[in-house]
Structure 1
Amino acid sequence: MVIRIASRGSELALWQSRAVAGSLRAADPSLQVEIEVIRTTGDRIQDVPLAKIGDKGLFTKELDNALLEDQADLAVHSLKDIPTRLPDGLTLAAVTVREDPRDVVLLPPGQAGGLEALEPGARVGTSSLRRVAQLRKRRPDLELVDLRGNLNTRLAKLDRGEYDAIILAAAGVLRLGWRDRISAYLEPPRWLPAVGQGALGIVCRTDRDDIRAALAPLNDPDTAAATTAERALLRALEGGCQIPIGALGLVDEGQVYLAGLVADTDGSRILRVHQVGDVKHAAAVGRAAADELLAKGAGEILASVRARVVLAEPAAP
């Protein structure tokens, strides 16, 4: 059996797809696995802040189309990039064991310290409104500058002196072997990551029972339950990956513990909740957290953010 994996072309995306290919072969040595590189909207448009080019399927739409048109059998994504509502005919078939879900601070070579070590007015690069909101709450004296490009490009910009620090997801940094570049970890629950951060999500067509069976050994139940709670919170709030919503679920002894936040982009208002429930009802835990956030005023904050951040359709390539 030949399995074709649709993947973005960045070094990190290819690392992730090759890791999944290796796991598939380990589970069934008879499988032949090929990787098909597909360029996405998010990859093509590099000179516009992510929040201004749309947040629905920015890094997944073209890969989804490849599956629906039978040009590939499955697609590997960072789970944080997968919309909570998949196109008709597609399913999230597996969620892999999670890498470190935290955000991290990277500084230029030879420097050390975390956010507190930065001088007032230091230029910090990030493309995430969630990170912007938490940074403005924690260090309102910093200058926050949009940061685009793959991880290699972002690191090169830091090393050229375009930024005094950048904020990235620990998972990508660790997967590319850059552990020694991490200056500080931003610790939950004070600082929350993106929904699904650190996990890989594998999508295939709903009618491909053969592919779903091949992927079954790759699914990690604890990661799947934790991220189900996170994604249920995000879905209930109707938030995309570029809206300032953070969440982190943890599973322990049959319970899922979920921390969530909604923030205004200026950091003036950050609403936080914690919910606990049976791992078998992880989605209900996420919905309960969303209901609590809405009761605290999250709807007003999110409406305000959406009104100020104009989400336009991406320009034609």
Structure 2
Amino acid sequence: MKIIVGSRGSQLALTQTKLIVNELSKLNPNVDFEIKVIKTKGDKIQDIPLDKMNDKGIFVKEIEEQLISYEIDMAVHSMKDMPTKMDERLVFPVIPKREDSRDALILKNNLKLEDLSMLETMIIGTGSKRRSYQFKASYPKAEFEPIRGNIDTRINKLHTQNLDGIILAASGLKRISRENEISHYFDEKTMIPAPCQGILALQTRTNDYQVIAVLSKVEDRCSRIQYIAERAYLEEIEGGCHAPVGAYCEINGDKITIYAVYGDEQGNKLIRDNITGATDNADELGRTLAKKMKLALEESYEKR
């Protein structure tokens, strides 16, 4: 049996795909895997900040089209890049073990986090409103510069441009073995990450039971619960446009707590809240929290 795996061509995307393929190969020695690189719209357009682009599927559309047309058999994406609405012919049948969900700060000139409060000004590289608004809540002097490109490009910009630091997903840095450059890991409750950050999306055709059976061996229960809770929150909040949205599900035995942040596009309002309940109710809890926070944001404007 041969399985053609679709992937973006960036260093991180290919590293992630190879990690999954290597794991699947060990568990399925009779299956031959081939990686096919597919260029997406997001790869082609590098001069526009992500929050200025309206296409939610900017890193996935072309790959999904090849899945639907049987040119590939499965795809590996970053789950946080996936739109909340998906073609019913496609599915995420398996959720593999999550990598580190936290955001990470890389600082220039051997600075430490505690040094930042002593700076008169600071410029942090990030194109994410979720990251910049949360960071500014702790460091009001901070200014932000949107940066695009792969991880190597962003780290290079830190050292060649007028930046004091950059914020990136810890999972990506770890996957390409650059975690030694991290100055600080943000706690998930302080800097709430993007929903499903650190989770890989293994995508197949809904009716391709042979491929699904091969993938089933990497299913991880805890990561599945987190995926359900955080994805439900995102679907209900529908903040996929340009609003800052973060959600993180913490598992404690048979209970979960979902921590979330939600705000307006301008960063004038940023609401934090959490909800606790049974793991079996992960979807319902995520949606309940999203509805509550949407209402709270609306009411905050009515009181002005």
1:171 aligns with 2:171: yes
Residue matched to 1:289: 289
> How many correspondences in the alignment?
300
Q: What CA RMSD, in Å, does the superposition of the two structures yield over aligned residues?
A: 1.8
Change (3 A) 1:272 1:196: same
1:157 aligns with 2:157: yes
Kept in 2: contact 1:105–1:115 (CA 8 A): no
Residue matched to 1:24: 24
The residue correspondences of 1:155-234 to structure 2 (distance < 5 A) are 155-234=155-234
- C-alpha displacement of 1:223: 0.6
1:146 aligns with 2:155: no
* Consecutive aligned runs of 4 or more in structure 1 exceeding 3 Å deviation: 264-268, 298-301
Unaligned stretches of 5+ in structure 1?
Answer: 302-317
1:63 aligns with 2:72: no
3-state SS, counterpart of residue 297 of structure 1: helix
Kept in 1: contact 2:275–2:289 (CA 8 A): yes
Unaligned stretches of 5+ in structure 2?
Answer: none
Residue matched to 2:42: 42
Give per-residue Cα distances to partners, 1:146-189, cap 9 Å, x unaligned.
11001111111112234211000000011111121000111121
- C-alpha displacement of 1:192: 0.2
Change (3 A) 1:295 1:39: same
Give per-residue Cα distances to partners, 1:108-132, cap 9 Å, x unaligned.
2x41312752623222110111112
Kept in 2: contact 1:102–1:170 (CA 8 A): yes
- C-alpha displacement of 1:273: 1.5
- % identical equivalent positions: 35
| Aligned mates of 1:17, 1:218 — CA distance in 2 | 13
**Letter aligned with residue 113 of structure 1:** K
**Letter aligned with residue 201 of structure 1:** A
TM-score w.r.t. structure 2 length? 0.93
3-state SS, counterpart of residue 296 of structure 1: helix
1:113 aligns with 2:112: yes
- C-alpha displacement of 1:59: 0.9
Change (3 A) 1:166 1:92: same
Residue matched to 1:75: 75
TM-score w.r.t. structure 1 length? 0.90
Kept in 2: contact 1:135–1:267 (CA 8 A): no
Kept in 2: contact 1:80–1:196 (CA 8 A): yes
| Aligned mates of 1:199, 1:290 — CA distance in 2 | 20
